[in-house]
Amino acid sequence: MAEEKVCSEITGTVWKIEVGLGDKVEEDDVIMILESMKMEIPVLAPCAGTIKELLVDEGSAIAEDQTIAIVNT
Amino acid sequence: MSRHDELAEELKARRARVMEMGGEEKLAARKAAGLLDARERIDYIMDADSFAETGMLATSHIPAMRQKSPADGKVCGYGRIEGRPAAIVSCDITTLGASSSLTNVRKMGHLRRTAIRNGMPMIFLNETSGARIPDTMGAQGTGALGQDPEQFVRNREIPYVAACLGPSYGTGTWFTMLSDFVVMRKGACLAVSSPRVTSLAIGEAVELEELGGWKLHTQKTGLVDYAVDSDEEALDLIKRFLSYLPSHAGELPPETEAPDESAYDGAPITDIVPAERQKVYDVRKLIAAIADPDSVFELKPRFGRVATTALTRMGGKVVGVVATNPMFKGGALDPDGCDKITSFLVLCDSFNIPIVMLTDTPGFLIGIEGERRKAPGKIMNFISALQMCSVPKLSIVTRKSYGQAYLNMGGSRNSDEMAAWTTGDVGFMDPNIGVNVLYGVTAESDPQKFEELKAEISRETSAYDLAEIFSAQSVLDPRETRQWLMSMLDVHSRGRERGLSRRALASWPTTF
């Protein structure tokens, strides 16, 4: 089983986490929503798999390219 | 047996030897691995019984290698795809690794010149180890190369398409880089040199995927449009791409039957695009809602995703759509997005495909990383290309459009006809940022003052403000989008050139 990092493409603040540990996701499913540039911008699953780790909390400040979750593929 | 019969038998035997390619064992191993061989790939993509080979009996110029080099490792010829002519070179990696040699480079040159002169697309099916050794060794080996001074000139007289179906180094890579559309089989490698040669050169281990794998090229470099799991999928995508392109630059793209317009009421659009500016959506759904059914063919879908570029049909006619996608980085245009749009504009203008631009962007993504990646230069490449396009250009501001990005996305006179949706919001920059820049006030430092100043600089940013000075020619209910685009495409395709481009971008590079 391989691990895939989920990274934020943009700087922002975590507004809402849409998945829980162990949840199954498909490619491009919304993992969490960031608030950035006064918009609600989703972070999408890069591949299908299961959520292994969530590395941030709602309200966390996120940098560009920061790993925010890990998906088991 | 007559002398003619004897000679015919010899010809038959020579042809049969060529069809054996690199031998039964190698071909069986490929079949077991689920791979098509060079000739099966041609049979798959070309219409039945349409393929006519050229250079079938060509071999290595080295006498001792002649028996080992059927067709000299590159199968070349002409055929038809969906009834339209095309030229193809298919690498036979079972024959000397389909390496590039003096003879097969001459075959490819002949094929390419014939395709250009006769107006048919050129297809490169690559699976090659690179330059042939020892043929190209030494001064005379290397000096014998490069006899065609226009080998790598791209004037886009015809479409070039390429598939990387295995290792692709040297000449295979060069022609892939000159192509308008590239598809790659997962597990293939597209690079200057092989991982082995590269490892030896830099003294450290190099992994195939890291050096030139599908993820690198579909997501990071953008040199490849699609990655697929099988040869058949790759060949199907090439057929699909070519179905939108004219056979050559002197004709318009092929039309299909127009769908029944009464099936469109535009209603889905207001469900797809929220009126609230802070809500994002996937612009690909909007494009699908305004295009003919099942006609959207996105290019580079995994690269530069802040922008979506897609070949589509409207009323059966081919249209190239450029859109910012709020789903990714809020639709803020980054250097990859600019490169993606520029290459798409070059493609559309060179092959007489009208351009539609859909804008919902907070502007160019600013930051140190962007500057390091030459963002200003890429922004200018993008708008230079747009201004040089002479195919019909239409643009619609769907929601936000700020600053230079407004101009780059066809704002004002950068398109032939421009409209703004009722949700349009145009200004020098996002009002939330503008308040801080102009007055040094943030929402946190003084919320009341911030809201007052924001209201002040948000005035006169509507679609109607744009229409009053005639920078937008129309204000649209979003549900009128398809109808407006079809009507304006009809108006702006009627010039003296009848939709044919002046092709000022035809010799622009394929990568930036």
Residues A38 and B433: their CA atoms lie apart, in Å, by: 9
First to last CA, chain A: 6
Asked if B432's CB is within 8 angstroms of A42's CB, the reply is no
Residues in chain B with CB shorter than 8 Å from the CB of A39 are 277-280, 326, 330, 362
Closest CA to A17 of A35, A5, A3: A35
Smallest Cβ–Cβ distance between A37 and the set B328, B332, B369 belongs to B332
Comparing alpha-carbon positions, the chain A residue that sits nearest to B362 is A37
Residues B333 and B306: their CA atoms lie apart, in Å, by: 6
B330/chain A closest Cα distance in angstroms: 6
Contacts of B42 (CB under 8 A, 6+ apart): B51, B75, B77, B79, B88, B90, B125
More confident residue, B137 or A34: A34
Closest CA to B495 of B352, B311, B350: B352
Comparing alpha-carbon positions, the chain A residue that sits nearest to B332 is A37
In this prediction, residue B496 carries a pLDDT of 74
Asked if A39's CB is within 8 angstroms of B362's CB, the reply is yes
Closest CA to B171 of B207, B135, B216: B135
Q: Which of residues 415-474 of B touch A (CB under 8 A)?
A: 430, 432
Q: What tokens appear for B178 in the block?
A: 């000159």
Residues in chain B with CB shorter than 8 Å from the CB of A44 are 327
Comparing alpha-carbon positions, the chain A residue that sits nearest to B400 is A39
In this prediction, residue B203 carries a pLDDT of 85
- Are B7 and B40 in contact by the 8 Å Cβ rule? The answer is no
Asked if A64's CB is within 8 angstroms of B279's CB, the reply is no
Half-sphere exposure in the Cβ direction for B128 (13 Å, CA): 31
Q: What tokens appear for A30 in the block?
A: 């919304």
Residues in chain A with CB shorter than 8 Å from the CB of B277 are 38-39
Comparing alpha-carbon positions, the chain B residue that sits nearest to A10 is B329
Q: What tokens appear for B353 in the block?
A: 């495909």
B106 φ, ψ (degrees, to nearest 5)? -65, -40
> Chain A residues contacting B, CB < 8 Å?
9-10, 36-42, 44, 64
**CA distances for B182 relative to B166, B185, B226, B347, B486, angstroms:** 13, 10, 7, 13, 30
Residues B54 and B58: their CA atoms lie apart, in Å, by: 9
Beta bridge partners of B63: none
B427/chain A closest Cα distance in angstroms: 16
* Residue type (1 letter), A31: I
Q: What tokens appear for B431 in the block?
A: 């009002």
Q: What tokens appear for B252 in the block?
A: 């318009």
In the numeric block, the tokens 């003296």 are attached to B496
Comparing alpha-carbon positions, the chain B residue that sits nearest to A8 is B329
In the numeric block, the tokens 């050139």 are attached to B497
**CA distances for A40 relative to A10, B116, B329, B342, angstroms:** 12, 49, 10, 28
* Residue type (1 letter), B162: A
Half-sphere exposure in the Cβ direction for B210 (13 Å, CA): 8
Confidence (pTM): 0.93
Residues in chain A with CB shorter than 8 Å from the CB of B326 are 39, 41
Cβ burial, residue B123 (10 Å; 0-12/13-18/19+): buried
Half-sphere exposure in the Cβ direction for B243 (13 Å, CA): 15
B340 φ, ψ (degrees, to nearest 5)? -65, -45
Mutation target among A18, A30, A34, A38 for the B interface, most CBs of B within 10 A: A38
Comparing alpha-carbon positions, the chain A residue that sits nearest to B278 is A39
Smallest Cβ–Cβ distance between A39 and the set B326, B367, B369 belongs to B326
Residues B193 and B182: their CA atoms lie apart, in Å, by: 18
Which residues of chain B fall short of a pLDDT of 70?
Answer: none
| DSSP codes of every residue in B77-124 | EEEEETTEEEEEEEE-TTTGGG-B-HHHHHHHHHHHHHHHHHT--EEE
Smallest Cβ–Cβ distance between B329 and the set A9, A38, A40 belongs to A9
Residues A42 and A18: their CA atoms lie apart, in Å, by: 10
Residues in chain B with CB shorter than 8 Å from the CB of A40 are 278-280
Residues in chain B with CB shorter than 8 Å from the CB of A38 are 277-278, 430, 432
In this prediction, residue B130 carries a pLDDT of 87
* DSSP conformational letter for B144: T
A22/chain B closest Cα distance in angstroms: 25
Comparing alpha-carbon positions, the chain A residue that sits nearest to B430 is A37
Task: Confirm or reject contact between B369 and chain A (CB < 8 A).
Answer: yes
B321/chain A closest Cα distance in angstroms: 22
Asked if A42's CB is within 8 angstroms of B280's CB, the reply is yes
First to last CA, chain B: 63
Q: Is the sign of the CA dihedral B17, B22, B27, B30 positive or negative?
A: negative
Asked if B278's CB is within 8 angstroms of A39's CB, the reply is yes
| Strand stretches in B243-347, DSSP E | 297-299, 307-314, 317-324
A71 φ, ψ (degrees, to nearest 5)? -110, 130
Residues B365 and B306: their CA atoms lie apart, in Å, by: 10
* Residue type (1 letter), B370: G
Closest CA to B326 of B393, B273, B254, B389: B273
**CA distances for B204 relative to A16, B196, B334, angstroms:** 43, 10, 33
In this prediction, residue B1 carries a pLDDT of 87
A28/chain B closest Cα distance in angstroms: 10
Residues B419 and B396: their CA atoms lie apart, in Å, by: 5
- Are B360 and B399 in contact by the 8 Å Cβ rule? The answer is yes
Smallest Cβ–Cβ distance between A37 and the set B327, B328, B330 belongs to B330
The alpha carbons of chain B give a radius of gyration, in whole angstroms, of 26
- For chain A, helix (H) and strand (E) counts, in that order, are 0, 8
